[in-house]
Structure 1
Amino acid sequence: MSEAPPPSPRRPAPAGRLTALQGTALYVGAVLGTGVIALPALAAETAGPASLLAWLALVLVSAPLAATFAALGARYPDAGGVSTYARLAFGERTAAVVGWCFYLAVPPGASAAALFAGSYTEAAVGGGTATRTVTAVVLMAVVTVANTAGLRVTGRLQLALSGLLIALLLAAVALSLPQARTDHLEPFAPHGWAAIGPAAALLVWSFAGWEAITHLAAEFRDPARDLPRATAAAVVIVGLLYLSVAFAVVAVLGSGAAEADAPLGELMARGMGGNARLLAAAAALLLTLGTMNAYYAGAAKLGAALGRDGALPGWLGRGGSAGEIPRRSLAVVSALGFLSLLVVTATHADARPLVLLTTGSFVTVYAIGVAAALRLLPRRGAIRAAALVALVAVVALLVMSGRYLLWSLGVAGAALLYQGLKGRRRPQQAPEDSNSPVEAAETG
């Protein structure tokens, strides 16, 4: 018996407002994010100069991964993002698992990101834990307010933030590179070649984000045209910036890179002289705002879609259609973010396990999303090849994540338990969302 063909996409009537340029800015903010302000030092501490190979590998992997999610978003534009693709490919239970993994990864990830930025502020003005915590609270509040105003404001804010941070990063690299020394690259693998794997697992945090914008696919003016364009531009920009900053941190700072709490600040101080830490703090704040802005927007839309489809309480479903503002879901994301920040601050938790737990969830989302792509996308062509390459890469990332996948397994169990308690029932569509790809799969 032949396998049933994947559901044919039905594209909703254009209702979105995001342009390809704003989409590129959202992608750059989501992916570039806080990884560049903290992880070059953490990766260097883990693998030494050999961490540059981990950076290069993840840049190369990100291209087919980004292309796969862009193709899914263009073909099935829906606020559910990867959860929707999982539903069309594998059914309700898998959709609930991937939706919960992403939705519940954003709040702790946001608290870690905000605290990374707080470290830069503390390095510039002092004040210790109080400065870091206040900075984090302010960042989370600003992002919540910006998303409450809707994607028209979010897209414009992201465009401005991305332009500023790209200029700052390029200036930091260009001005510091004259002080680069080749002897800082030796020994190249002081902790052995096997250390590249753990370094790469850390760096997944830096490349998480290609799936985040799929939740906003329906918000583009023309998803089929603008989403692939935005993705291609972002892959090039993010790849060049990451490799440039990582190389500069290792080659300029040397062994000091692993000891720096604010490596970008040290880089700017070397290149610009004087007290460049204030400028570095400004860059860190911009980067963190960009990341949190994109993730809050995507997670809020996802929560509304999960409420619409029965994977979360139905009262979250309001605001999930294109052009609407999912304020209830946004409030939940924001509240969980503040709660996570409170727990991390009170327990003095280290950032590294928090980062790895969050990236374990994102790797799980990637794995299910790429597997769904292999069922939903055309059987032949370049995008099929990209999805196969992405699948191999994601399997390797799953292996490297190791015990940090336990968190996503726990979340998956909770999602399945919730589905069981809710009982078997057909997803309830919001009346205004009659053009969702889920309905297209059922009626097409």
Structure 2
Amino acid sequence: MAQLKQEITLFSGVAQLSTTLLGTGLFMVPAIAASIAGELSLWSWVVLLIGICPIALTFASLGKRYPNAGGTAFFVRKAFNQRLEKSIAWLFLSVIPVGVPAAVALAGGFLRPLLPDALNHSFIAQSITVLLLVLVNLSGAKTSGRIQSLIAVSVFTLVAAFWWYGDITPSTIQMPSVTSENWALIGSSLAVMFWCFVGIEAFAHMGEEFKSPERDFPIAIIIGCLIAGATYWACSVVIVKFHAYGSTQFDSGSIPYLAQLLFGSKATLGISALGFAACFASINLYTQSLSRMLWAQAREYRPQSRIAHLSASGVPANATFIVGLVLLISCFIGEFTQLNLEFFLKLANGAFLMVYFMAMLSACKLLTGARRMLAYISLVMCILMMACLGWSMLYALGLFGLLVYKIKPVNQPNPNIAK
């Protein structure tokens, strides 16, 4: 049976997860959250980080015990059955038409100022982004990890520069007081902010490619989440201080606005390059995880198919080409729908939350002792976040129910033979 190369180190793993969690989210979610909750969004980040910690730790325990490219789908099969495994795999893939177009469009928006006038078109920029994603993924996880490590350092440097030039010190930060009426606003902002931590389940697909998965995989998840959470909060402090929120222009333009305000117009091209790199890093891991999901399913159920083959460099090339084509089609459709980012984020978050919920439910059955208790806590956290999403959860719940109903049971005995 074909096996992926084990090339990911602890450092590159932390870099891949932290840049994935930051990626597109850093350039839109803090401003959108501040538009919903204002200064209270600073507390929203604290609440979200507290809520995500047990989920991250549970994912770390699952990945340590069951390192597999199938990710959550593999956990679900180990805990339950192949029918639910396939349903959750297709639910994960369903994020492509609702979540990925918005992310690629944002990356393309940063790329456009860097392109010559003849190529300065939205769909062309998105197509170039998808092509680069395919090329980087074909180069293997090791090269991808090095690229994302450089991007991670650049993003942290940018946020640190915002604090320096914005004259922000710990003594100047004032967390707003919270009353009972404020929790509704905090909950509403959490429905959007969960997008910032939806890379954990994608990262679970990379466990099989760690050099030392039992040691490094859980540490990478924990450190990556903490770094990303602290960076989001630090960026939100700057956005709130300079009131870079409250309009549709700020939803995806708060970071360029702050850069021009604090650094001057000379920084515009640099911010565009960094914005594209950060968004690219986020989508890159999803492209890896989606291709590995397809490959893992093919390896398990259709080992002789072309999708189950690996390239000479140990990469699921055919699966990567398929994901790239679907991304391109999704971007073409997304280009003409013109729906706002908040709408897409909530639908995608619903699908991700359902994936998280099934992973935590599997952990309740697969893990033991203190880890099982942590899984139960994580399950409650997922339910609370689902409540915050409200109607947006209907997309994920309806689709998951349809998948469970339509997918036929696997390896069931023929009743005629039994007779």
TM bracket (short chain):
0.7 to 0.9
Residue 331 of structure 1 and its aligned partner are, at CA, apart by: 1.8
The CA distance in 1 between the partners of 2:171 and 2:262, in whole Å, is: 14
2:150 to 152, 160, 183: 160
Residue 319 of structure 1, aligned match among 302, 307, 310: 310
| Aligned with residue 395 of structure 2, among 395, 401, 407 | 407
Deviation string, structure 1 residues 154-181 (Cα, Å, up to 9, x no partner): 2222222222222223223332244999
Q: 1:47 to 1:14 in 2, by over 3 A?
A: closer
Listed one character per residue, the Cα deviations across residues 310-337 of structure 1 (whole Å, up to 9, x for unaligned) are 49995533339x9731122212221111
Amino acid at match of 1:148: L
Give 1:387's match in structure 2, choosing from 375, 381, 389: 375
Gaps of 5+ in 2: 413-419
Find the residue that maps to 2:240 and give its secondary structure: helix
TM-score normalised by the chain length of structure 2: 0.87
Mapped to 2, the partners of 1:255 and 1:209 lie a distance apart of: 25
Shift of 1:75: 0.6
Mapping 1:12-411, distance limit 5 Å:
15-106=5-96, 108-121=98-111, 131-178=121-168, 193-253=183-243, 259-260=249-250, 261-310=252-301, 315-319=306-310, 324-378=314-368, 380-381=369-370, 383-411=371-399
Residue 34 of structure 1 aligns to a residue whose secondary structure is helix
Once the two structures are superposed, what CA deviation does each residue of 1:352-378 show, in whole Å capped at 9, x if it has no partner? Answer: 211111111100000000111111112
How far is the alpha carbon of 1:138 from its aligned partner? 1.7
- The 2-side partners of 1:236 and 1:66 are apart by 10
Q: Percent identity?
A: 25
Listed one character per residue, the Cα deviations across residues 390-414 of structure 1 (whole Å, up to 9, x for unaligned) are 2121111111222222322343245
Provide closer, same or farther for how the CA distance between residues 402 and 256 of structure 1 changes in structure 2, counting only shifts above 3 A. closer
1: CA distance, partners of 2:403 / 2:241? 45
**Structure 2 counterpart of 1:365, which letter?**
V
Q: Work out the CA distance in 2 between the residues paired with 1:343 and 1:40.
A: 26
Structure 1 residues 249 and 89, CA gap change in structure 2 (3 angstroms): same
Q: How far is the alpha carbon of 1:290 from its aligned partner?
A: 0.8
Q: State the alpha-carbon separation in 2 of the partners of residues 222 and 181 from structure 1.
A: 42
Asked if structure 2 preserves the Cα contact closer than 8 Å seen for 1:177 and 1:248, the reply is: no
Question: Structure 2: which amino acid aligns with 1:221?
Answer: K
Q: 1:177 to 1:411 in 2, by over 3 A?
A: farther
CA–CA distance in 2 between the matches of 1:282 and 1:173?
20
- Whichever residue aligns with residue 358 of structure 1, its letter is A
Please state how far the C-alpha of 1:416 moved relative to its aligned partner: 3.1
RMSD: 3.3
Structure 2 CA distance for aligned equivalents of residues 241 and 291 of structure 1: 15
Return the TM-score normalized by structure 1. 0.83
Residue correspondences, number:
408
Q: Are 1:44 and 1:258, in contact at CA under 8 Å, matched by a contact in 2?
A: no
Question: 1-side partners of 2:245 and 2:339: how far apart?
Answer: 25
Segments of structure 1 that go 5 or more residues without pairing to the other structure are 1-11, 427-444
Which segment drifts farther, 177-186 or 28-37? 177-186
Moved more, 151-160 or 355-364: 151-160
